[in-house]
């Protein structure tokens, strides 16, 4: 079918836009918008909003969009395809309800053919964001692309081509190509169906009865195929033609997967350990708006930092994310939902799980099907009821349904044993002979011993029995216990504390059935405000969230605008991917104070040797290294040598500007080095134009050295059709908004994202 963007020419209004609402509140003046659009990021934050820290104190509301479009001739078939609307969407065409879709993360289509007329047509999309509907920042509105599909009355159904790789090696690949064809004519049709892949093609006649929808299956053999892998992400294009009436292009990759408890995960026969990280959907300064260039930037940066896998938590991601992973070589875990029948917040997925899980699982499979990067389906995240024998049956049903739709990938569930068994812990502790009072009083070691016991493993046996991979959240204490108690079980650290990677990765290397580790999080995100915050002194361990003005989680290997944080380099060293040491410096303003980050945080160290107010005062330097010993030099003078522990060494020294040097010591000899220089106070804004409206701003001196200590005020103005989508910094608790035209840099950085043609003027004060 002819596929064209339907993103331009929309009008946006708050509220539902009903006649009753207009009577009570008066008519609004609509605002022109271009999709994708996030209504939430454009609102003033409110410390009293009912969504609270979950959304970063952004309020949620009901909104609607309208658009008029012309139809000179009525097509034989027409559809509107929405890649994502958050959430509870209703689509009306010329006043008639064409589709409803409650899920805010799965794509859906509306067959608008019956409602169209010649001339001017009007579409309205009503979006009702329940309060609260999630534990993180969701955005509000039509935040992904919309497409108009038009075709003949005889056509290939939308997303109607399905290519399955049944066998593959370097000699040949066997493909099964299923094509769903639609005949809306009142007469029988016999047409030629043809598939082309490179220089090879296959064709066959297909007869469609009057009013029939039929799936035609052809087998295709591709000789000497190029296999897709993380290191060589080769993709094919299949052109499907229905005798001059319709043409579809399907991009896909060819690779094999295998999995067992002896050899672990293999891609194309090669063993792979998943160096994974969890990500959410938002892009920080532009909110939930799907932005293709920012998506590719994110995946590229993650891969450069050593990741080979991402987990799209806790919902199906966008098509753009999977396309980026396909092209750049990144493995993916897709997740269905964050709740089944038991709610975590009042209006989350549990409100429509029973009536819609099957539809949503099918949409997730449909999204993933042709993407070779996608290897794992997760059927849920920390589902509290999985240990209940009755509720566990939902998991079995979901797995059975997904396997019917796609048997080529593996299934997991991200289970947190503590949450799943919370109400039974006293009973199970007594059964295991553990000290109940000690556990209830927060003794982590006693809890870990209990969690590794057979008494904890048994209630989860059924929940894991129907999965291919037992996914564990924050449960490394189960890995060796499972390897002993359940030798046929394949394991995965589906969500892990960032600081636990050192021990977790040692277990990944030791246990063949443990196929990887996914840290929380790979990239900072809006909402769950303050969960990764850094604190000083004594702190309550599970007093996690930040009060207003906290905006983002404050955790992640990359900050909110995509700059690498020190923990990312430590992770890369633990993975064995970096030999050079890495320098970071703790905040001297808190010298001598106890550091108390949350379990999702890290130390307060930054890569900066600019501390003008602390000259001659004590300071702590962190060095990350895989060497047994490292030496630190300040302006060429040795501060001493330290043994590393968990790939980290701390040096207590005195600050003086100049050059800080870390040297690995291997076998008693100096080896790899890292240097950190003090930047001068004579700074300017360096602009890095990445194209596609992305502009990175850095505070640097005349030698090009970043000065995180210098704070500059920047004003951005646009002219013509160019508009600012977002302008801000990685500050997790700034009080400004991303639509403000004037901001202050944070840690020497800022990011501006624009859309459209025209002039962008940057002024520095």
Give a yes or no: residue 507 inside a domain: yes
- What CATH code is carried by the domain that includes residue 108? 2.60.120.260
- Could you report the per-residue pLDDT of 105-120, keeping only the tens digit for each? 999 999 999 999 999 9
Residue 698 shares a structural domain with residue 663: no
CATH number at residue 698: 2.60.40.10
Contact 204, 192 (CB under 8 A): yes
Degrees, nearest 5: CA angle 154-157-162: 130
Contact predicate 587/641, CB 8 Å = no
In this structure, the answer to whether residues 665 and 648 fall within a common structural domain is yes
Is residue 461 in some structural domain? Answer: yes
Q: Rounded mean pLDDT of 516-525?
A: 98
Classify residue 594 as exposed, middle or buried by CB count within 10 Å of its CB (0-12, 13-18, 19+).
Answer: exposed
Please state the rounded mean pLDDT for residues 256-267.
Answer: 98
Question: Is 545 within a domain?
Answer: no
Provide the sign of the torsion angle of the four alpha carbons 533, 677, 572, 503, taken in this order: negative
* Helix count and strand count (H, E) for the chain: 14, 42
Q: Would you say residue 695 has pLDDT above 90?
A: yes
By residue range, what is the domain housing residue 692?
683-764
Are residues 609 and 754 both part of a single domain? no
pLDDT at 591: 97
Total of domains in the chain: 5
Span 724-741, pLDDT tens digits = 999 999 999 999 999 999
Residue 100 placed within a domain: yes
Give domain status of residue 220, yes or no.
Answer: yes
Q: Tell me the mean pLDDT in the region 50-57.
A: 94
Q: Check: CB of residue 35 under 8 Å from CB of residue 11.
A: no
Residues 345 and 462 in one domain: yes
Give the pLDDT confidence score for residue 543 in this predicted structure.
73
User: Do 543 and 512 contact (CB within 8 A), yes or no?
Assistant: no
User: Above 80 in pLDDT, residue 357?
Assistant: yes
Select from 200, 229, 255 the last residue of a domain: 255
pLDDT over 70, % of the chain: 100
Q: Which of 255, 278, 308 is the last residue of a domain?
A: 255
Q: What is the pLDDT of residue 18?
A: 84
Task: List Cβ neighbours of 48 (8 Å cut-off, separation of 6 or more).
Answer: none
Residue 26 pLDDT exceeds 80: no
> Beta strands 309-312 and 331-335: pairing type?
parallel
Whether the bond between 132 and the residue before it is cis, its omega within 30 degrees of 0, is yes
pLDDT in tens, 574-623: 999 999 999 999 999 999 999 999 999 999 999 999 999 999 999 999 99
Supply the pLDDT for residue 89: 98
Specify whether 182 is located in the same domain as 145. no
Instruction: Inform me whether the pLDDT recorded for 443 exceeds 90.
Output: no
Q: Is the pLDDT of residue 540 over 80?
A: no
Q: Residue 536 falls within a domain, yes or no? A: no
**pLDDT of residue 441 exceeding 80:** no
Helix (H, G, I), strand (E, B) or coil at 515: strand
Cα(746)–Cα(708) distance, integer angstroms: 7
Greater pLDDT, 527 or 131 = 527
Is residue 306 domain-shared with residue 363, that is, in the same domain? yes
Check: CB of residue 324 under 8 Å from CB of residue 115: no
Residue 541 has a pLDDT of: 66
Co-location of 189 and 310 in the same domain = no
> What mean pLDDT comes out for the span 61-76?
96
| Res. 201: pLDDT tops 70 | yes
Asked whether residue 534 is domain-assigned, the answer is: no
Residue-wise pLDDT for 132-172, tens only, equals: 999 999 999 999 999 999 999 999 999 999 999 999 999 99
Most distant CA pair in the chain: distance in Å? 90
**pLDDT of amino acid 397:** 97
Distance CA 296, CA 294 (A): 5
For residue 172, count other CB atoms closer than 10 A to its CB.
Answer: 12
Taking residue 568's Cβ as centre, other Cβ atoms within 10 Å add up to: 27
Q: Helix 353-368 crosses helix 319-328 at what angle (to 10 degrees)?
A: 30
The more confident residue out of 544 and 253 is: 253
Q: Indicate if 732 and 662 belong to the same structural domain.
A: no
Q: Is residue 540 part of a domain?
A: no
Residues 297 and 177 in one domain: no
Write the pLDDT tens digit of every residue in 378-397.
999 999 999 999 888 999 99
| 620-646: average pLDDT | 98
d(CA 495, CA 244): 49
pLDDT level of residue 17 (50, 70, 90 thresholds): confident
232/103 same-domain check = no
What local confidence, expressed as pLDDT, does residue 542 receive?
Answer: 66
Q: Is the dihedral of CA 380, 385, 388, 391 positive or negative?
A: negative
pLDDT at 301: 98
Mean pLDDT of the chain: 96
Q: What is the pLDDT of residue 22?
A: 79
Q: Residues near 70 by Cβ (< 8 Å), separated by ≥ 6? A: 119, 120, 121
Residue 13 shares a structural domain with residue 117: yes
Buried/exposed code over 502-511 (b: 16+ C-beta within 10 A; e: otherwise): eebbebbeeb
Q: Is the pLDDT of residue 667 over 90?
A: yes
Inter-CA distances, 471 with 214, 389, 401, 496, Å:
38, 18, 19, 11
How large is the average pLDDT for residues 360-388? Answer: 97
Q: What is the CATH number of the domain that holds 468?
A: 3.20.20.80
Q: What average pLDDT score do residues 690-704 get?
A: 97
327 & 452 share domain: yes
Mean pLDDT, residues 403-421 taken together = 96
Of 255, 282, 313, the residue at which a domain comes to its end is 255
Q: What is the pLDDT of residue 20?
A: 80
What is the Cα–Cα distance from 499 to 648, expressed in whole angstroms? 11
> What is the rounded CA–CA span in Å between residue 499 and residue 646?
10
């Amino acid at each position: 079918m002819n596929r064209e963007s339907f993103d331009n020419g929309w009008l946006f209004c708050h509220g539902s836009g009903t006649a009753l609402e207009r009577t009570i509140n008066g008519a609004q003046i609509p605002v022109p918008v271009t999709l994708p659009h996030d209504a939430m990021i454009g609102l003033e934050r409110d410390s009293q909003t009912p969504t609270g820290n979950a959304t970063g104190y952004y309020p949620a509301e009901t909104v609607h969009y309208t658009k008029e479009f012309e139809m000179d001739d009525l097509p034989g078939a027409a559809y509107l395809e929405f890649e994502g609307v958050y959430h509870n969407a209703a689509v009306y065409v010329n006043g008639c309800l064409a589709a409803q879709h409650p899920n805010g993360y799965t794509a859906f289509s509306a067959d608008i053919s019956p409602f169209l007329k010649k001339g001017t047509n009007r579409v309205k999309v009503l979006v009702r964001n329940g309060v609260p509907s999630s534990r993180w920042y969701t955005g509000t509105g039509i935040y992904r692309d919309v497409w108009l599909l038009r075709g003949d009355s005889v056509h290939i159904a939308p997303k109607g081509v399905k290519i399955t790789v049944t066998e593959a090696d370097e000699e040949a690949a066997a493909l099964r190509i299923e094509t769903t064809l639609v005949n809306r004519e009142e007469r029988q049709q016999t047409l030629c169906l043809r598939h082309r892949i490179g220089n090879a093609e296959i064709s066959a006649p297909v007869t469609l009865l009057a009013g029939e929808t039929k799936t035609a299956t052809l087998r295709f053999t591709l000789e000497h195929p190029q296999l897709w892998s993380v290191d060589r992400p080769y993709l094919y294009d299949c052109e499907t033609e229905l005798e001059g009436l319709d043409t579809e292009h399907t991009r896909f990759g060819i690779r094999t997967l295998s999995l067992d408890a002896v050899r672990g995960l293999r891609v194309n026969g090669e063993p792979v350990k998943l160096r994974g990280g969890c990500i959410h959907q938002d892009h920080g300064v532009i909110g939930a708006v799907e932005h293709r260039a920012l998506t590719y930037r994110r995946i590229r940066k993650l891969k450069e930092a050593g990741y080979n896998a991402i987990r799209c938590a806790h919902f199906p991601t966008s098509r753009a994310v999977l396309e980026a992973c396909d092209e750049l070589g990144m493995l993916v875990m897709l997740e269905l939902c964050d709740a089944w029948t038991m709610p975590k917040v009042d209006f989350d997925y549990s409100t429509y799980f029973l009536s819609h899980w099957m539809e949503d699982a099918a949409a997730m499979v449909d999204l993933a099907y042709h993407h070779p990067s996608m290897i794992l389906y997760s059927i849920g995240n920390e589902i509290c009821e999985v240990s209940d024998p009755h509720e566990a049956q939902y998991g079995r049903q979901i797995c059975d349904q997904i396997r019917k739709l796609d048997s080529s990938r593996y299934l997991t569930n991200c289970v947190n044993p503590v949450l799943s068994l919370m109400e039974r812990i006293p009973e199970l502790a007594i059964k295991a002979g553990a000290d109940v009072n000690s556990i209830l009083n927060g003794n982590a070691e006693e809890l870990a011993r209990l969690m590794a016991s057979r008494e904890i493993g048994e209630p989860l046996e059924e929940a894991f029995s129907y999965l291919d991979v037992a996914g564990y959240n924050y449960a490394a204490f189960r890995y060796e216990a499972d390897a002993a108690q359940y030798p046929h079980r394949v394991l995965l650290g589906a969500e892990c504390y960032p600081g636990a990677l050192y021990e977790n990765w040692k277990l990944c290397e030791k246990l063949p059935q443990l196929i990887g580790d996914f840290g929380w999080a790979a990239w900072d995100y809006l909402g769950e405000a303050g969960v990764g915050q850094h604190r000083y002194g004594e702190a309550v361990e599970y007093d996690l969230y930040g009060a207003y003005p906290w905006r983002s989680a404050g955790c992640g290997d990359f900050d909110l605008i995509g700059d690498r944080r020190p923990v990312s380099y430590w992770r890369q060293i633990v993975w064995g991917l970096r030999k050079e040491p890495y320098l970071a410096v703790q905040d001297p303003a808190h010298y001598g104070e106890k550091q108390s980050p949350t379990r999702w945080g890290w130390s307060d160290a930054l890569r900066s040797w600019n501390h003008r107010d602390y000259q001659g005062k004590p300071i702590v330097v962190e060095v990350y290294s895989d060497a047994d010993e490292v030496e630190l030099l300040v302006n060429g003078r040795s501060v001493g040598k330290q043994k590393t522990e968990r790939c980290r060494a701390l040096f207590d020294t005195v600050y003086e500007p100049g050059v800080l040097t870390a040297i690995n010591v291997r076998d008693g000899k100096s080896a790899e080095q890292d240097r950190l220089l003090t930047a001068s106070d004579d700074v300017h804004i360096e602009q890095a134009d990445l194209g596609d409206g992305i502009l990175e701003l850095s505070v640097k001196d005349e030698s090009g050295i970043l000065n995180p200590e210098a704070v500059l005020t920047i004003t951005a103005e646009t002219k013509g059709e160019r508009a600012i989508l977002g302008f801000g910094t990685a500050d997790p608790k700034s009080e400004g908004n991303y639509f403000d035209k004037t901001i202050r840099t944070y840690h020497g950085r800022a990011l501006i994202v624009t859309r459209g043609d025209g002039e962008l003027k940057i002024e520095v004060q």
